[in-house]
Amino acid sequence: MIKIGNLTYQQLREKFRIKSPWDMIIIFILNILITIPIFIILHHNLILLEWAHYADRVLMFIVILVAIQLILRAMRRVTLISVILYLLFLLFGTVSGKYSFQRVFEDYRSMMYTMDENPYPQDIIITKLLPFPNKSKILDAVEYQNPKIRNFAIMAINKNFKDVKGYYDYYIIIQSFAIFKEINSRWNYVSDPKGHDYIAKATESLQYLSGDCDDHSVFMAACIKSIGGTTRLIHTKGHIYPELLIGTKKDLEHINYAIKKVLFVKESKNKPINYHIDERGNVWLNLDYTAKYPGGPFMNEEILGALTLD
């Protein structure tokens, strides 16, 4: 007979065994704790069927829940040990900065909010792509290395959303939103001279925060690029506007929640988050001067060209 100290294996097993009905209660709680992160991982990595009312995701959650419940019931004699191991795993993740208790909560919160308030994927209407107008002048005008541009960007960051917590993985995007808020709340539209397409350098627009759509796009792109963000300019019929790179659809869930519930609550209330997805699966949000929040409505759907400033 196996002994550990003065206890036999049978006695040790009985010592850790939880009596009914507490064993079933603990099993169900543990089931929920295990199911949620597994569901989040599968949600982010599987191509789902897009059933009405997210029925495919609801069904997937139920299947995972039932499967884990059956496994845990079969292992109920070691339920307490399983609970301890699970908590130690998340505790290790919290200490090491990896997948922690907070990350589980934030991922689940953002995912559930997105399922209820889904961002709106804008269908890209692309005609025959044309050479980007005034490309060389625009690239020259994006003076992101100019100290005046960076100083303006830093001022905007210190003025807006400085105390926002819980988005360390997206701090550049949050800071880019701070720049967007500062520029779009102060921008004054001024047309070019009649019959002449004038491209103002970013430092020119900085002086009065005024100009037309290409001046706004150049200035926005320069400020965001000066703090490490990635933008692109979209050319449509008679219009140019900037877009900000968000990342993947998984990243969009977090950003969607941040815009609607934390950063632009009033501006985006009851309004969809519009975005484009490029050929690589990257998500881009509209930062046009007409938008009151990142991901606002597009002025024109027909895309004639795109200029990425990476």
pLDDT digits (tens, 9 = 90+) for 153-211: 999 999 999 988 888 889 999 999 999 999 999 999 999 998 788 999 999 999 999 99
Statement to judge: residues 226 and 255 lie in one domain? yes
Q: The whole model's pTM is what?
A: 0.68
Structural domains counted in the chain: 2
Tell me which residue range forms the domain holding 260. 125-309
Statement to judge: residues 174 and 64 lie in one domain? no
Distance CA 185, CA 194 (A): 26
Asked whether the CA dihedral 107, 110, 114, 119 is positive or negative, the reply is negative
Distance CA 9, CA 32 (A): 30
Place 4 in a pLDDT band, splitting at 50, 70 and 90. very low
- pLDDT at site 117: 54
- pLDDT at site 300: 74
3-state secondary structure of 303: strand
- pLDDT at site 60: 85
Statement to judge: residues 16 and 147 lie in one domain? no
- pLDDT at site 250: 82
Statement to judge: residues 169 and 265 lie in one domain? yes
Statement to judge: residues 135 and 36 lie in one domain? no
- Residue with the bigger pLDDT between 303 and 76: it is 303
Which of 18-22, 52-56, 103-107, 190-194 is the most confident on average? 190-194
Statement to judge: residues 65 and 190 lie in one domain? no
Asked if residue 118 has pLDDT above 60, the reply is no
Statement to judge: residues 108 and 132 lie in one domain? no
Tokens of 2: 């196996």
3-state secondary structure of 272: coil
Asked if residue 85 has pLDDT above 80, the reply is no
Statement to judge: residues 81 and 212 lie in one domain? no
- pLDDT at site 111: 56
Tokens of 234: 């979209």
Statement to judge: residues 110 and 171 lie in one domain? no
Average pLDDT for residues 60-71, to the nearest whole number? 85
Statement to judge: residues 86 and 195 lie in one domain? no
- The residues near 178 (Cβ < 8 Å, ≥ 6 apart) are 156, 157, 159, 160, 161, 162
Average pLDDT for residues 32-42, to the nearest whole number? 74
- pLDDT at site 84: 65
Tokens of 212: 């037309």
Distance CA 202, CA 219 (A): 5
Rounded-to-10 torsion of CA 79, 85, 91, 94: -110
The per-residue pLDDT of the chain, averaged, comes to 81
| Domain's final residue, options 94, 116, 138 | 116
| Domain's final residue, options 116, 144, 177 | 116
User: What does the pLDDT look like over 228-279, one tens digit per residue?
Assistant: 999 999 998 889 999 999 998 889 888 998 999 899 999 998 888 888 888 8
Is the distance from CB of 224 to CB of 259 less than 8 angstroms?
no
Closest by CA to 205, choosing from 197, 213, 195, 196, is 213
Statement to judge: residues 289 and 166 lie in one domain? yes
User: What does the pLDDT look like over 119-152, one tens digit per residue?
Assistant: 555 544 445 567 888 999 999 999 999 999 999 9
Task: Outline where the chain has alpha helix (H).
Answer: 9-16, 22-45, 55-74, 79-96, 101-116, 135-141, 147-159, 171-184, 202-208, 213-225, 249-258
Statement to judge: residues 147 and 79 lie in one domain? no
- pLDDT at site 145: 96
Query: Residue 125: what are its φ and ψ, rounded to 5°?
Result: -100, 105
Pairing of strands 210-211, 302-309: unpaired
| Domain's final residue, options 116, 148, 183 | 116
Asked whether the CA dihedral 193, 199, 204, 209 is positive or negative, the reply is positive
Q: Which CATH number covers residue 292?
A: 3.10.620
